[in-house]
Amino acid sequence: MSEAEEPLVARLFAKLADGQFHSGETLAAGLAVSRSAVWKAARALRELGATVHAVRNRGYRLALAAEPLDGGKIRALLDEAARAGVAGPGSRLPVAPSVCRSVGCLAKCPAIWAPSGWLSAFVHCGR
């Protein structure tokens, strides 16, 4: 998935992952969206469970620095047997910024599931 195809929430999380403050203006320019879109994406990150600080005249930051999930990096760290068991030989380990675990949501989008699952930073819906 190219950077342009990633959801705005995931792109914002990646920008804030260093734990430093980033102004809304700088984030908006770097993400090619409006400051309002940055504000809405920050709110969505909070709804997913991330602690996002928004401070006037300083910007946004995550409470703790984090490393966004990267399926390629994780797969490279697995031994050969584990790599072969994760989404099959030669394929990528799917990563999503968030997933819904309710049966109703999963039934709506079965094509996104790899044979052995995928990784996500946040889970929403369901119990």
Q: CA-based angle 107:51:53, to the nearest 5?
A: 135
Note the pLDDT tens digit of each residue in 14-27: 999 999 999 999 99
Nearest to 18 by CA among 66, 58, 56, 55: 66
Q: Which tokens in the block code for residue 47?
A: 């709804």
Assess whether pLDDT exceeds 80 at residue 56: yes
Domain stop point among 19, 35, 62 = 62
Same domain, 81 and 54: no
Domain stop point among 62, 83, 107 = 62
Section 18-45 average pLDDT: 96
Assess whether pLDDT exceeds 60 at residue 104: no
- Percent share of the chain, pLDDT over 90: 39
Q: Please tell me the predicted confidence (pLDDT) of residue 60.
A: 97
Same domain, 89 and 112: yes
Element (H, E) at 112: none
Range of the domain at 104: 71-124
Q: Please tell me the predicted confidence (pLDDT) of residue 55.
A: 95
- Cβ atoms within 10 Å of 7's Cβ, excluding its own: 14
